[in-house]
Structure formats: C-alpha cells, structure tokens
Amino acid sequence: MKVLAFNSSARTGDVSKTEIVLDYLVQGMREAGAEVEVIELRKKKIRYCIGCFTCWTKTPGICIHKDDMTKEILPKYLENDLVILATPLFHYTVNAVMKTFIERTLPIALPFFEKRDGVTAHPYRHKVPPIVFISVAGFPEESVFDALKFYVNFLFHEQLLAEIYRTSSEMISKSSTGKKVSDIREALIQGGRELVQSMKISQETMTRIKKPITNFEEMAPLGNLMWQTCINEGVTMGDAQKSGLIPRPDSIETFLILMKFAFKANKARDARFTIQFNFSGQVAGECYFVIENGRFKTGLGKSSNPDLVIESPFEVWMDIMTKKADGQKMFMEKKYTTQGDISILIRMGEFFGN
C-alpha cells in the first residue's frame, strides 16, 4: 500500500502534537508493510487559490500557479492508495496551511454540477484516494471538534475512511511515561496497522486513541498555573517544555494538583507513607499526601498519623519544588524543618517527575 501523509502543523519535534500523533500512526502503517511518505506542508511553497478557474477550462486539471502544489504535490496526491491529512485545530477548524492546501485541490474536480447525497457538488476529474483525517486540539472536550467534524464529513463524504480527533494534545509527548499517554501511543500504532490490514480502524482501537487524558476541572488549574509561570518567567510554552520548567503553584490546592500530576506511580509501587505539610507565610495552611502501593491521595488539613511533617514557608517550598533553590541547602540553613522519617524526603525525587 502506498500512503501519502500531509502534516500542516507549523511546529515540529516534541512540541508538535500533530506530528507526534501522525508519527505513531505512520509507525504502525510501516510495521504492517505500507510505504509511507510524509510531506510537511509548512516547508512547501503553496500559493492561495485566486479563484480564476483556469484549471477548469483553459488548462483542464492544471493550476495557473507554478509552485510546489502544481509541480510536486497534486500529481503525487493522485498516485497513492491512501492519503492522510493531519492538522492542528486552530479556532475550531483546520489551520490556514491546511485550508490553503485543500483549496488548491480544485483542479481535481470538474466544473459541472451534480447532485450528491441530495446536495449540489462537483464530480471528480480523477479517481481520488480515500482519506484518513487527523486533528489535535488543546482543549479536553471532544465537542471542541464538532464544527470541524461537520466540515470534514461534508467535504470528503464517502472518501473519508477514518477520523482521528485527539483532545488535550498538549499533554502528549514522546517522552511521557504516564499510562494514559502510553496507551494512546500504542493505540495509534495499532490503528496504523489496522488501516493497512483492513482499510479501517476498529471501534475498540479508536476508543483507546480518543480516550480522555484529563477534564476541565483537572486541566484548567494546572494549565493556568503553567501559563502564569511562563508569563512570570517571560518564556514561551515551547521554551518551558524544552527546559523542563516546572509550573509554580500559587495555592495549597494547586500544589496538590501539581504533585498528583507529577506522581510516578510505577516508581512508588512498594512505597507506603504519609507526608504532612504545614505551610506558613503568604499562603498559610495545612495539607498532606498519602502514597500507598502506587496510589496517591491528597487532603487539606491534618492527617492522623504522618510519617514525615514538613514545616515551611510556602514560598520556600515552592522555590525548592521549582528548582529555584536547593532543598538540602535550605534545610541546612533551617529555612524549613522536618519531624519524622527524613529518608522519605531524600527519596522524593524518585516518586515525582518534572
């Protein structure tokens, strides 16, 4: 099977979630024996359609522009058994690069009018390959894709073989070891294999690909914290990801959410302890977390029987957590104090990632 994939993301590498999702699908397709070429549209010269209809009359099937779309992309598009279109969701629809590309496929249509599924349409000039459509979006609800789904189905009709819509895209990275992201990765690779083997993605695999990673209640406090940290540090989100910048909690609630997010369940399978935090200063209050056989629970107030109690000004602990201050040095300088099993403190780095 010959497959041609178009990626319209402006970004690349681990920051491009379109690229990550596409890469895994392509990996599965190659494993199943397909020959896959990926075209990164951002690297191509594709001018806007100027609506002259030259491609419909004067030079049938050939666009007036002599750019990469005319010379390279459109001829290739028609040669393949399957085409993948992958776009980030921008303002609830395809991004401008993908839209420009789609408009420039006008030469493959004929000018004549026909009725298709009860509505006016143009027939194709050529046999067109089936399409797998991929989009990724930052928001957590699947409904963020509603407008795009409508458009994609209206545009591609029966040409559409599969649609992959991945929410909470910014929580996906190739280096992520979390169970949810790992399962999505496996499901995408499996989806690629299935497409080659049976020209469809099974319902079971699709459910795994689309499985929610988070919800608004969980994502918003963490996301807002990350944006605020970027604003405070004067860095972009991309810089923050590359440098492993840790969002700085501004309340006990956000501190607990962050700890929950950073918790590495697989490293804490045999651990069993409770840590109590008594914070002072601008953000004063008490909270605790319990780690028990790979599970992580948090609570506000006092726990009944903590193994370790940490007394610290909130700002000092946040400096340590965000790696602005050295925990050992701060301890020696008595900026915070502990009671109980101090070995837990030394092992904290094992149980929590960035």
Ligand X SMILES: Cc1cc2nc3c(=O)[nH]c(=O)nc-3n(C[C@H](O)[C@H](O)[C@H](O)COP(=O)(O)O)c2cc1C
Residue number with the smallest Cβ distance to ligand X? 88
Going by C-alpha positions, the residue among 293, 290, 292 that lies closest to residue 301 is 290
- State how far the Cα of 228 lies from the Cα of 40, in Å rounded to an integer: 32
* Closer to ligand X by Cβ: residue 33 or 212: 212
Least Å distance, CB 257 to ligand X, is: 20
Contacts with ligand X by CB under 6 A lie at 9, 11, 16-19, 88-92, 136-139, 144, 169-170
Going by C-alpha positions, the residue among 337, 170, 321 that lies closest to residue 249 is 321
Least Å distance, CB 13 to ligand X, is: 10
CA 79 to the chain's CA centroid:
31
* Closer to ligand X by Cβ: residue 17 or 65: 17
DSSP state of 90: B
Going by C-alpha positions, the residue among 95, 82, 88 that lies closest to residue 192 is 82
- State how far the Cα of 72 lies from the Cα of 44, in Å rounded to an integer: 10
Least Å distance, CB 122 to ligand X, is: 29
CA atoms within 13 A on the CB side of 220: 4
* Closer to ligand X by Cβ: residue 133 or 288: 133
Using DSSP, state whether 151 is helix, strand or coil.
helix
Least Å distance, CB 332 to ligand X, is: 42
Least Å distance, CB 92 to ligand X, is: 4
The secondary structure of 258-272 as a DSSP string is: HHHHHB-GGG-TT-E
* Closer to ligand X by Cβ: residue 19 or 319: 19
* Closer to ligand X by Cβ: residue 144 or 345: 144
Least Å distance, CB 86 to ligand X, is: 8
* Closer to ligand X by Cβ: residue 19 or 194: 19
DSSP strand pairing (119-121 vs 131-136): unpaired
